[in-house]
């Protein structure tokens, strides 16, 4: 019988049969029997799990493929064989194995007992987990020794607190953990798919995959967001899908996961993909575009506090004086997406806590660029969204849309035609048409004509393509377009402001995707177009979902709400309660949630004789996989939160001083929080290489010519040399060119533009705020409430 320990030497992976989608669990006193079948129940497979007390998982997969009649006969034979010990009993029906986990006692098997279809991609159904179960593998003889173990039960309770019914989804036959471009240009199956950055149960499935060298029995869970809908345009039904995939590396909750770790992994790393194709049974053209969000890749942290809504930020610049971890992060992104890497940094310039991080991030980017090849230079734009949203918040959407058009002209997007599947190829459809395909034509005879990406946002976006007569079953092949690079957006939490910017990029890309599919005449969709409002709903839902996962509350959607015309008082009241909800979650819930994530991902693995998870006192700094060093001459100070930032560094900060902004004050009492040590065992024992196999397959394999997306003439952009807020566009151009008829440029060129920063900061309330305050005061609300809503500081005075 094969065991996990006996699988040290990998054996060649054989092609797997059609995927198993439904399972039946039976038990005897000594063995668990799992029968798996495909969607139409034409074939059955058998898996045996030994229930005796063994140090390693003992699994045997029967090589025989049974018909339904043979499966029933085999079940009767097994029942007769175990008649002396009570026979074989049915336990439950389920829909896939999530994995196996071991605490201090026996192994447990996590299974999906209920699922719900939430969409499909090219006839491949996508399911959300709606109910799970933890099955103990020990039999009655070995179970008694663990019944009285309080620690064992506590670990089970912690793991069960991670609600897999919320936002975990999977697909049996389509690799949903990978982008469409990866799947079509570098198809992979089975074993390799679990090495993806976005498969959250990679650790839990590692034992069974090592043992069987097969993924027939498990499902690959993606954590994030999935939403799909059809909309009609130009007489066509178009399927739109928005997917957000959270990275399993350095994963966790706000305040407990911040910045970067030594391996270049960042907190709240999310890949967003939008897929568009015609909603017919066998679409022949498909398009997708990918963007990324992630924490500022520096060593920094925040301590949670029940007393303060905005706790201190501590910059640990001494940990990475040469920005090696920061550079490693961008190398990882480059291997995932190709060049260029475009950084859109939305943090504040006027707020003390954020401004020092902004200067340090800017310094890191410039140093990395100085010692890297020109081809690998990071493109960046530092733009204070909060400052530019004062007055009329919706103005920032116009500016962000122009940034998005410029970024899209550099990264482009993915478009291709796909081959119609045969009956035998349906399970692996779609497939990219290429030069060897009989449907392929000479690329010189056809092209995708696209308008310039001008960066302006005054297009109505209502143009439609004329109906074309169908001349053949398959249209003449157009050359594919490949995305080559990625837009990486961040604010402090990569939640609220980041989501607005991602919407703008998604809108810019959607116009070009629809244009490539022949649905619209103009590749530009304006903010007033009906599709823009439809897309906003998608991104707002995604933003709320990701915000709840990371911070405990829905996103602050002030700009989206303002765009819909909601009353300012309503918006402020909504933001107030979301802030309180987020603060409660951060202070009271996140520590337990982080402990559950650590167990699920294998970052903490219980062992007899070692401290238990709840016995390890830690701070948010230890969640960066770096123990606090109290032996040095300069220990890390803690101060009462006044919205300050502590810069723990002897190195100079680009563009500013590194002195302590606020003097040290008495410590705030910190609650015990579980350790978050990203165990070396997790990475050293991974099947993957230091960067996953998907990483080595760049998304920019072919290079597209510029006639797919014509760049805006360089005369419209000023490329900075070592100074300024951007090196790929001129910030002045954002505020002074390409404005629409409703004077959207006031998002930048406000009446206060000539005032010094000092005067702006010292102003009590700008004129644009007075009317808002009058609205609030008209409701006879307390003065300190008004101050808290406007300033965003601590609520207690």
Nearest to 337 by CA among 486, 232, 456: 486
Q: What does the alpha-carbon distance between residue 467 and residue 506 come to, in Å, rounded to a whole number?
A: 26
Extract the tokens encoding 554.
Answer: 């829905």
Q: What does the alpha-carbon distance between residue 251 and residue 268 come to, in Å, rounded to a whole number?
A: 7
Q: What does the alpha-carbon distance between residue 397 and residue 406 come to, in Å, rounded to a whole number?
A: 14
Nearest to 363 by CA among 779, 722, 790: 722
Helix (H, G, I), strand (E, B) or coil at 375: helix
Q: Which residues contact 121 (CB under 8 A, 6 or more apart)?
A: 171, 174, 176, 241, 275
Residue 421 burial (CB count, 10 A) = 16
* pLDDT computed for residue 526 by the predictor: 86
548 near 422, Cβ under 8 Å?
no
Rg of the chain in Å (alpha carbons): 28
Nearest to 526 by CA among 244, 791, 744: 744
Long-range contacts of 53-56 (CB under 8 A, 24+ apart): 53/106, 53/138, 53/142, 54/3, 56/3, 56/4, 56/5, 56/207
Mean pLDDT by 10 residues, the chain (797 residues): 42 55 95 94 95 86 94 95 92 97 93 97 94 91 67 92 93 95 89 91 95 93 97 92 97 88 96 95 92 96 67 86 96 97 93 88 96 95 85 79 95 92 65 49 35 41 41 66 97 86 96 95 89 92 88 58 54 60 58 90 91 69 36 33 38 33 31 35 34 37 40 37 70 61 29 31 35 46 48 34
Buried residues in 31-47 as b, exposed as e (16+ CB within 10 A): bbbbbbbbeeeebbbbb
Long-range contacts of 262-266 (CB under 8 A, 24+ apart): 262/325, 262/625, 262/626, 263/325, 263/328, 263/678, 263/683, 264/297, 264/325, 264/326, 264/327, 264/328, 264/329, 264/330, 264/331, 264/332, 265/329, 265/332, 266/294, 266/295, 266/296, 266/297, 266/329
746 near 395, Cβ under 8 Å?
yes
Extract the tokens encoding 695.
Answer: 């990483």
Q: Which residues contact 473 (CB under 8 A, 6 or more apart)?
A: none
Q: What does the alpha-carbon distance between residue 293 and residue 579 come to, in Å, rounded to a whole number?
A: 21
User: CA 75: distance to chain centroid?
Assistant: 43
Q: Which residues contact 123 (CB under 8 A, 6 or more apart)?
A: 281, 426, 429
* pLDDT computed for residue 511 by the predictor: 96
Q: How many helices (H) and strands (E) does the chain have?
A: 20, 21
Give me the sign of the Cα torsion angle 718, 492, 261, 696.
Answer: negative
Q: What does the alpha-carbon distance between residue 107 and residue 135 come to, in Å, rounded to a whole number?
A: 9
Helix 590-601 to helix 568-588 angle (10° resolution) is 60
Which residue in this structure is represented by tokens 């025989």? 64
Q: What does the alpha-carbon distance between residue 237 and residue 231 come to, in Å, rounded to a whole number?
A: 6
Cα distances (angstroms) measured from residue 459 to each of 64, 456, 503, 523, 738: 62, 7, 17, 10, 11
Extract the tokens encoding 58.
Answer: 């003992």
Long-range contacts of 429-436 (CB under 8 A, 24+ apart): 429/122, 429/123, 430/122, 430/184, 430/283, 430/286, 431/184, 431/187, 432/184, 432/185, 432/480, 433/477
619 near 670, Cβ under 8 Å?
yes
Helix (H) / strand (E) element for 359: namely helix 352-370
Residue 383 burial (CB count, 10 A) = 23
185 near 431, Cβ under 8 Å?
no
Extract the tokens encoding 687.
Answer: 């099947």
* pLDDT computed for residue 558 by the predictor: 56
Give strand ranges (E) for 395-485: 414-419, 431-432
């Amino acid at each position: 019988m094969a065991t996990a320990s006996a699988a040290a030497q990998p054996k060649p992976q054989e092609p797997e049969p059609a995927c198993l989608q439904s399972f039946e669990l039976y038990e005897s006193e000594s063995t668990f029997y799992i029968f798996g079948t495909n969607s139409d129940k034409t074939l059955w497979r058998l898996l045996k799990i030994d229930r005796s007390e063994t140090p390693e998982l003992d699994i045997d997969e029967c090589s025989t493929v049974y018909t339904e009649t043979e499966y029933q006969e085999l079940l009767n034979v097994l029942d007769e064989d175990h008649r002396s010990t009570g026979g074989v009993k049915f336990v439950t029906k389920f829909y896939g194995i999530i994995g196996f986990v071991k605490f201090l006692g026996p192994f447990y098997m996590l299974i999906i007992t209920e699922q719900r279809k939430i969409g499909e991609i090219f006839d491949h159904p996508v399911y959300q987990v709606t109910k799970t179960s933890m099955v103990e593998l020990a039999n009655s003889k070995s179970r008694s020794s663990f019944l009285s173990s309080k620690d064992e039960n506590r670990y089970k309770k912690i793991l069960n607190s991670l609600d897999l019914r919320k936002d975990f989804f999977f697909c049996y036959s389509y690799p949903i953990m990978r982008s469409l471009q990866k799947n079509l240009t570098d198809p992979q199956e089975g074993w390799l798919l679990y090495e993806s950055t976005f498969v959250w149960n990679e650790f839990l499935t590692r034992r069974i995959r090592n043992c069987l060298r097969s993924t027939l029995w498990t499902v690959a869970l993606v954590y994030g967001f999935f939403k799909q809908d059809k909309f009609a345009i130009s007489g066509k039904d178009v399927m739109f899908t928005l997917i957000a995939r959270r990275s399993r590396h350095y994963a966790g909750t706000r305040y407990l996961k911040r910045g970067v770790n030594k391996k270049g992994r960042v907190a709240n790393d999310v890949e967003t993909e939008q897929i568009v194709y015609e909603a017919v049974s066998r679409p022949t053209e498909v398009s997708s575009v990918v963007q990324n969000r992630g924490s500022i890749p520096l060593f920094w942290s925040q301590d949670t506090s029940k007393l303060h809504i905005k706790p201190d930020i501590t910059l640990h610049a001494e940990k990475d004086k040469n920005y090696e971890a920061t550079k490693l992060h961008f190398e990882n992104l480059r291997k995932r997406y190709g060049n260029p890497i475009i950084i859109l940094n939305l943090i504040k310039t006027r707020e003390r806590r954020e401004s020092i991080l902004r200067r340090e991030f800017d310094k890191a980017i410039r140093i990395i660029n100085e010692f890297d090849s020109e081809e690998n230079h990071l493109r960046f734009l530092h733009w204070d969204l909060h400052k530019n949203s004062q007055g009329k918040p919706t103005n920032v959407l116009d500016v962000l849309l122009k940034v998005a058009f410029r970024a899209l002209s550099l990264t482009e997007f993915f478009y291709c035609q796909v081959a119609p599947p045969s009956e035998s190829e349906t399970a692996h459809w779609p497939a990219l048409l290429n030069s060897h395909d009989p449907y392929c034509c000479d690329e010189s005879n056809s092209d995708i004509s696209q308008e310039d990406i001008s960066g302006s946002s005054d297009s109505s976006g209502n143009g439609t393509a004329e109906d074309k007569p169908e001349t053949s079953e398959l249209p003449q092949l157009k050359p594919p377009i490949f995305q080559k690079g990625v837009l990486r957006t961040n604010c402090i939490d990569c939640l609220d402001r980041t989501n607005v910017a991602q919407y703008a990029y998604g809108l810019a890309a959607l116009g070009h995707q629809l244009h490539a599919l022949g649905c619209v005449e103009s590749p530009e969709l304006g903010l007033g177009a009906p599709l823009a409002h439809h897309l906003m709903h998608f991104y707002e839902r995604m933003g709320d979902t990701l915000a709840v996962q990371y911070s405990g509350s829905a996103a602050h959607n002030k700009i989206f709400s303002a765009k819909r015309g909601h009353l300012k008082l309503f918006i402020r009241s909504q933001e107030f309660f979301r802030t309180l909800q987020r603060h409660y979650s951060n202070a009271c819930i996140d520590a337990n949630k982080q402990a559950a994530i650590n167990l699920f991902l294998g970052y903490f693995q219980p062992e007899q004789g070692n401290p238990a998870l709840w016995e390890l006192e830690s701070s948010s700094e230890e969640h960066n996989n770096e123990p606090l060093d109290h032996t040095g001459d300069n220990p890390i100070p803690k101060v009462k939160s006044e919205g300050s930032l502590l810069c723990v560094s002897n190195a100079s900060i680009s563009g500013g001083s590194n002195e302590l902004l606020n003097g040290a004050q008495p410590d705030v009492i910190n609650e015990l929080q579980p350790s978050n040590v990203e165990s070396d065992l997790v990475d050293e024992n991974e099947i993957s290489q230091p960067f996953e196999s998907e990483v080595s397959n760049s998304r920019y394999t072919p290079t597209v010519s510029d006639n797919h997306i014509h760049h805006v003439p360089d005369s419209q952009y000023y490329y900075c040399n070592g100074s300024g807020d951007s090196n790929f566009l001129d910030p002045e151009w954002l505020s002074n060119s390409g404005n629409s008829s409703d004077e959207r440029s006031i998002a930048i060129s406000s009446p206060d533009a000539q005032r010094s920063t000092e005067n702006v900061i010292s102003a009590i309330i700008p004129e644009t705020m007075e009317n808002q305050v009058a609205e609030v005061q008209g409701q006879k609300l307390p003065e300190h409430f008004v101050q808290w809503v406007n300033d965003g500081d601590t609520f207690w005075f």
